[in-house]
Structure 1
Amino acid sequence: MAPGDSRRGEYLAYRDVGFRRNAFRLIEVMVFWSEDTEEDTTPLVDEILHSIFFLGRLYNPQFSPESIVDDGDMCECLKASYPEAFRLYSSQLPRRAPFSCVLDMIVHQFGQENEGEIRNQLQQFVEFIEGLDGAPSKKLLSTTLCVSRIVAPDSNRYYGVSLSTFGKVAGRIMVAVSCLQTWHEHVAGAVLSYNLRGSPRPVFNGTIRLPENVRCETYNISDHEAKFPCRSCGNLFGFDTNERKEWPYGNCAEVECVSKLLENEAEATEQVRFKAEATIEGRQEAEREVREELHQLLRMSRYQWDGEFYLPQCIQPMYKNDIEIN
């Protein structure tokens, strides 16, 4: 074997171990937390299982659920408790990336109002995962947390994390799915305004300006350092920022966070202003383009989609009605 081949083999082995190790640890901790939480959080475990198994299916080389949960007894217990996640990961699409489930679990444990504790727990969780078994890997781990609220006494706080996948294809698939299926319609419309290359779509501009009384504060999960909104978030939501960096649209923590706020704060939603005139026909065309992009990305990954989005067991309806993608 040539020296270059050896180094490439070592890199691929490290890369693959990083995904599988983090995937298993995410599952292990979520199962532990679920058993230690008073309210029923089994749907979050079901959801993260399916989301991780789906991403393992996209990985090259592929990881089966059994290779991710390589503890035989644990795998059999999970199969018995969450059979649909094992059965449908290769035919139905997840609605969220795995770390969003971790965030929701922590919020369930410590309460929506306890921002400081939630931030501390996220930091400790990431440090724990990264500190296991050698060199750290950030696969499946979010790096950024956003907290939004209405400026008013005793207002609720809403939390979002940056997209936690790996590689461009998986990330683009999850953004497309979220636009069509998961995010609030105003947030989805803003993200739909840009194509995969980050260029504005000529057919549609759904970008918005949030009300003046909405505050969004963003932090690095690892050290709590405050972060300014990137240019992408400025373009989507009208945030004032001097940042010039544009991250891929839909990847930032602000997107999930703003979506949750608008889902729950009707008055703020009514005060959202659109930056441009947009037609129903323009939005439909943008959604059609994103659906086609999604199909192309799945074909590239040789993923046989049945047209359905996975709904975790026992979960109450919390997502948009299914949109026909065929």
Structure 2
Amino acid sequence: MEEKIEKKRAKRLHMEHERENIITSGNLFIDVFLGILGKTNATPEVCTKYLKKVLHAIFFLGHINKPQILPEDFIPDCLQRNLRKRCPQIFEQCKTHLPRQTPYSILLEFMAENDNVKDPQNFISQLANVNSSLWKKDRTIGSHPVANDFAFTASIIAYSCYKDATTNRILKIAYGSSMSCKGKVPRLIMIRISALYKWDKAISYAVCRHRNSPAIMFPNQVQCKTFSFEAQKCNFKRIPSCTDCEKLFKNEQPDPLSITDKKICLYGSLAETESVSNLLMCCPDLRNTTVSEQFDNQNPMNREEIEHIFTTQYQQQLISELRSLLNSRDFTVPEGEWLFYNPV
């Protein structure tokens, strides 16, 4: 009996500890994002739109957490009245409306669209500075950043680019981040939202099929590079693509790091997935020519065939799973179409 009581007590303390870390992470993220907005050349309307999206995503993740976190817990008292006056709907719609992205994915999108940084390495360096601000400080090890138990920070970043076949010049580039949310259920929820309503459907198909599917094939002009955040050094280090992504997305030129570096990332972070999906979204010609590799003596599939299989074999299953997961977290699930937060 005493052992059971002690286990319950330990579990309660652990959940409360995680809750406090979520609140700390949310507070930090909002503060850092406000700082980014203060330095940007984006219009006030664009800044307000992205701030609302970030706040809603954080409030949503707080609402589906166990134990639940109220929106007010993330906002300093000095800002609450102003925010409630400017955007009161966010405080209620986190219970009824879904986000399409995690907070960090929204931040990444904002910076990529508004910072006008052409060189990807410079952009990755800017993200490293952002991450350094988002990670908690541990005074016992010289004020170096350490990983939060729950951080809205993405530890993995990837970019995918489409190059000119003759000059090797980058024509289009797109970024992606790891699924930056804590806990199995919130992560499963965000993956299903992404697969259904955010990612390119060919990418969603590949993720749903996982290792049992023919890979999505890309021309050699498409390249993907992945980076892992090193907290102690406050920078992003180039790493091989994860083994899952190498099976899902292919071209004739494999990542040389995957061949030479033995420290292979075994588990998908979905950073590569998001970056490849975003690249397809901004390259219609590339997107329309998407095909699968030949698999089990079957002919390669074109885009229409890939989308058809996703829609007929996986879409409804994902929707059912999403409904079940959200119902388990006291989220108001609509009878008909999903409600998505749309900042106005």
| Distance in 2, Cα, partners of 1:112 & 1:186 | 29
Residues 24 and 206 of structure 1, relative CA distance in 2, 3 Å threshold: farther
| 1:109 shift after superposition | 4.6
Residue in 1 aligned with 2:219?
211
Q: Which AA in structure 2 matches 1:38? A: N
Residue in 1 aligned with 2:267?
247
Pick the aligned partner of 2:79 from 74, 82, 85.
Answer: 74
Residue in 2 aligned with 1:180?
196
Q: Are the equivalent residues in 2 in contact too, given 1:25–1:129 (CA < 8 A)?
A: yes
Please say if 1:305 is aligned against 2:333: yes
Pick the aligned partner of 1:90 from 95, 100, 109.
Answer: 95
| Distance in 2, Cα, partners of 1:252 & 1:114 | 23
| 1:308 shift after superposition | 2.7
Residue in 1 aligned with 2:184?
168
Residues 38 and 174 of structure 1, relative CA distance in 2, 3 Å threshold: same
Pick the aligned partner of 1:287 from 315, 320, 325.
Answer: 315
Q: Which AA in structure 2 matches 1:308? A: W
| Distance in 1, Cα, partners of 2:56 & 2:184 | 20
Structure 2: give runs of 5+ residues left out of the alignment: 140-145, 294-299
Residues 185 and 112 of structure 1, relative CA distance in 2, 3 Å threshold: farther
| 1:246 shift after superposition | 4.6
| 1:46 shift after superposition | 0.9
| 1:13 shift after superposition | 3.7
C-alpha RMSD of matched pairs (Å):
2.6
| 1:221 shift after superposition | 2.8
Residue in 2 aligned with 1:43?
49
| Distance in 2, Cα, partners of 1:31 & 1:7 | 36
Q: Which AA in structure 1 matches 2:22? A: F
What is the correspondence of 1:21-40 to structure 2 with a 5 Å cutoff?
21-39=24-42, 40=46
Q: Are the equivalent residues in 2 in contact too, given 1:191–1:207 (CA < 8 A)?
A: no
Please say if 1:55 is aligned against 2:83: no
| Distance in 2, Cα, partners of 1:49 & 1:206 | 38
Pick the aligned partner of 1:64 from 53, 65, 70.
Answer: 70
| 1:297 shift after superposition | 1.1
Please say if 1:261 is aligned against 2:279: yes
Pick the aligned partner of 1:273 from 291, 297, 311.
Answer: 291
Q: Are the equivalent residues in 1 in contact too, given 2:159–2:226 (CA < 8 A)?
A: yes
SS in 1 for 2:152: coil
Please say if 1:122 is aligned against 2:127: yes
Larger radius of gyration: 2
Residues 176 and 144 of structure 1, relative CA distance in 2, 3 Å threshold: same
Of 210-219 and 73-82, more deviation after overlay is shown by 73-82
Percent of residue pairs identical: 20
Q: Normalised by the size of structure 1, how large is the TM-score? A: 0.83
Q: Are the equivalent residues in 1 in contact too, given 2:161–2:172 (CA < 8 A)?
A: yes
Q: Are the equivalent residues in 1 in contact too, given 2:192–2:318 (CA < 8 A)?
A: yes
Residue in 1 aligned with 2:237?
225
Q: Are the equivalent residues in 1 in contact too, given 2:50–2:106 (CA < 8 A)?
A: yes
| 1:128 shift after superposition | 1.6
Residues 272 and 212 of structure 1, relative CA distance in 2, 3 Å threshold: farther
| 1:182 shift after superposition | 0.8
| Distance in 2, Cα, partners of 1:140 & 1:132 | 15
SS in 2 for 1:160: strand
Residue in 2 aligned with 1:317?
none
Q: Are the equivalent residues in 1 in contact too, given 2:93–2:341 (CA < 8 A)?
A: no
| 1:176 shift after superposition | 0.7
| Distance in 2, Cα, partners of 1:229 & 1:176 | 22
Alignment: residue pair count = 303
Structure 1: give runs of 5+ residues left out of the alignment: 315-326
SS in 1 for 2:160: strand
Residue in 2 aligned with 1:319?
none
SS in 2 for 1:159: strand
